[in-house]
Amino acid sequence: MNPTPRHPLHAADSLADAATDPPPGAGPEGGYCETHELHLAQFEALYAVSQVLSRSLDYRDTVREVLRILEEETDLTHGLVTVLSPEDNSLVIQALHGHDADELAPVRYQSGEGVLGLVMERNRSVALGSIGDDPRFLNRLGVYDPELPFIAVPIKVAGTLRGVLAVQPAVPGDRLLEDRARFVEMVANLIGQNVRLSLEVAEEKQHLLEERDLLRRTVRHQYGFDSIAGRSTAMRRVFDQVRLVAKWNTTVLIRGETGTGKELIANAIHYNSPRARGPMVKLNCAALPENLLESELFGHERGAFTGAVGARKGRFEQADGGTLFLDEIGDISPAFQAKLLRVLQEGEFERVGGGRTLKVDVRIIAATHRDLETAVDEGDFREDLFYRLSVMPLFLPPLRERLEDIADVARLLLTKIGQAQGRKLAIADAALRRLAAYEWPGNVRELENCLERAAVLSEDGRIDADLIRFPGQRERPAARRPPLQAATTPAPGPADAPGAPGEGTEEHGERARVIAALEQAGWVQAKAARLLGMTPRQIAYRIQTLNIEVKQF
């Protein structure tokens, strides 16, 4: 049998008596048995160490267990783990078997200082046959027996030293010191892999926490009061009510016409409440039929209906600990109203196809554009559900009742549109006056669509009055008339109709100015555009919106 190769320990790192003479009477067979038994114990210990390290990525806890295994399985006592401090690049005690590291006096080892500092300096193992005989031994901890051997090996992560693992064999004059040192290096490699994974997980966790905090700040700003424009008396009253109700878990019913911003108010309530760290779950009740609405809200069990291949959480479970926004609550059927009432009263429900009662902690914010009082009188909406929802009603005024807010709302929406288009948008005062003269049946949503349409037509990012076009003014083909009459006495189109909001002498003068430029340019639109300081695209759009019949020559 070939002799066991010697471990590559440097002569300067171990004493001459690291390998002592065999005891009297011990022949080759006895040495082989001793080595074999040691290797078996080390193998079992390595298996136990790997199991410990695989259970957790918290190396602070796992190294304590590793040091215990080393003492109980392989007689390597006083196990010590030090880690490299990023603050001053020194070795700091992380764990000492049999002692609480927090109770020990603060001990640090600089590079080259003591035996541990030597390992740090050279980044390689040290094995001493009798630690007390080495002048580098400082004995700062006072736990090591100077008559016994000592092994210290580096803990490396990707080849970089991250700490030191040190142990003291309980056998004086140990003939198998090199074998033990090789085993300790194996354990240190396993610890290094655990440290590497722990550092990666900790770094990723820190990154996720920072990203979460950033997203929370962004969402809080996006859905805060800064995202809702309004200085009118009616809107200031709404803001005051939102600030008051956001502090509590009270059920809120937001009422107002379509497009008044009910969802924005719901977001502001949630993200300014103690539940802001919880989920904000939304559902449009009018978008789903009753059979799907029940499954969507309450969830379902596997096999509850055709296609239910697995159990699924409903919106109530998803919103546990947070807020559930039920939009268009007035459109649910009377049969489903009874099921919803129980959840609101008791906070309990069962999944579709399930018999287990689930309990959730959810704040309800509902919204509707319907007249629920009339629906209650006509029997279309349960009276008890109405009172359960209407604990704190908030009424959002339509845009036409707060015309003084239109300029602020328009500028806020233009900022949003400009961010989406990647450019800066501006609106002229004449365009704002034109917006303020409109009735806005679609409220803020219609205003946003109007501004986005104008932004698309604007090549330089400036929105003038002529780019404001309302959906109600549908284009019609112009009446056939002689070309001269079209230039001198233009036939009235939809925009010239008396009583049309935002129209009148201003548009009539603009129409006359465009026709005059076209006449001067011989009805060549590119020349007329240069005369007016416009682009060909802009003059073509104005010809269309002003209902000008182009002469054909």
Q: To the nearest whole number, what is the mean pLDDT of the chain?
A: 80
Same domain, 88 and 161: yes
Task: Please identify, among 397, 412, 427, the residue that sits at the C-terminal boundary of a domain.
Answer: 397
- The answer to whether the beta carbons of residues 326 and 287 sit under 8 Å apart is no
CA dihedral for 362, 366, 372, 378, sign (positive or negative)? negative
Backbone angles phi, psi at 268, to 5 degrees: -65, -40
**5 is a domain residue:** no
Q: Which residues contact 274 (CB under 8 A, 6 or more apart)?
A: 247
- The answer to whether the beta carbons of residues 267 and 280 sit under 8 Å apart is yes
Q: Which residues contact 140 (CB under 8 A, 6 or more apart)?
A: 107, 114
Q: How many domains does the chain have?
A: 4
- The answer to whether the beta carbons of residues 150 and 128 sit under 8 Å apart is yes
Task: Please identify, among 356, 382, 397, the residue that sits at the C-terminal boundary of a domain.
Answer: 397
Supply the CATH number for residue 307's domain: 3.40.50.300
Residue 154 — pLDDT band, cuts 50, 70, 90?
A: very high
Same domain, 501 and 438: no
**341 is a domain residue:** yes
Question: Average pLDDT for residues 508-522, to the nearest whole number?
Answer: 74
Residue 103 — pLDDT band, cuts 50, 70, 90?
A: low
Q: Is the pLDDT score of 126 beyond 60?
A: yes
Q: State residue 9's pLDDT score.
A: 43
Same domain, 19 and 94: yes
Same domain, 357 and 431: no
**211 is a domain residue:** no
Beta bridge mates, 327: 284
Report the distance separating Cα 238 and Cα 510, nearest Å: 40
Question: Average pLDDT for residues 72-81, to the nearest whole number?
Answer: 89
**218 is a domain residue:** no
Same domain, 142 and 165: yes
In sequence order, which ranges of 223-257 are alpha helices (DSSP H)?
233-245
Beta bridge mates, 392: 252
Q: State residue 11's pLDDT score.
A: 36
Task: Please identify, among 343, 373, 397, the residue that sits at the C-terminal boundary of a domain.
Answer: 397
Report the distance separating Cα 149 and Cα 151, nearest Å: 7
* Angle made by CA atoms 133, 137, 140, in degrees to the nearest 5: 135
Q: Tell me the CB-side half-sphere exposure of residue 154, using CA atoms within 13 A.
A: 19
**473 is a domain residue:** no
Question: Average pLDDT for residues 210-216, to the nearest whole number?
Answer: 77
Same domain, 163 and 256: no
Same domain, 310 and 321: yes
Same domain, 408 and 506: no
- The answer to whether the beta carbons of residues 186 and 204 sit under 8 Å apart is no
Same domain, 304 and 422: no
Same domain, 249 and 310: yes
**346 is a domain residue:** yes
Q: Which two tokens stand for residue 534?
A: 């416009």
- Placement of tokens 């029940």 in the chain: 294
Question: Average pLDDT for residues 142-169, to the nearest whole number?
Answer: 89
Question: Average pLDDT for residues 140-167, to the nearest whole number?
Answer: 88
Supply the CATH number for residue 167's domain: 3.30.450.40
Whole-structure pTM value: 0.54
Q: Which two tokens stand for residue 19?
A: 């390998």
Supply the CATH number for residue 535's domain: 1.10.10.60
**1 is a domain residue:** no
Same domain, 387 and 405: no
Select from 518, 528, 526, 507 the least CA-distant residue to 550.
518
Supply the CATH number for residue 434's domain: 1.10.8.60
Residue 76 domain boundaries: 11-200
Q: How many CB atoms lie within 10 A of CB 23?
A: 9
Report the distance separating Cα 231 and Cα 208, nearest Å: 38
pLDDT per residue as tens digits for the range 173-208 = 778 888 889 999 999 888 888 777 777 777 788 888
Residue 507 — pLDDT band, cuts 50, 70, 90?
A: low
pLDDT per residue as tens digits for the range 319-353 = 999 999 999 999 998 888 988 998 888 888 888 88
Q: Tell me the CB-side half-sphere exposure of residue 173, using CA atoms within 13 A.
A: 4
Same domain, 232 and 185: no
From residue 297, give the alpha-carbon distance in Å to each of 291, 319, 349, 388.
10, 10, 10, 18
**553 is a domain residue:** no
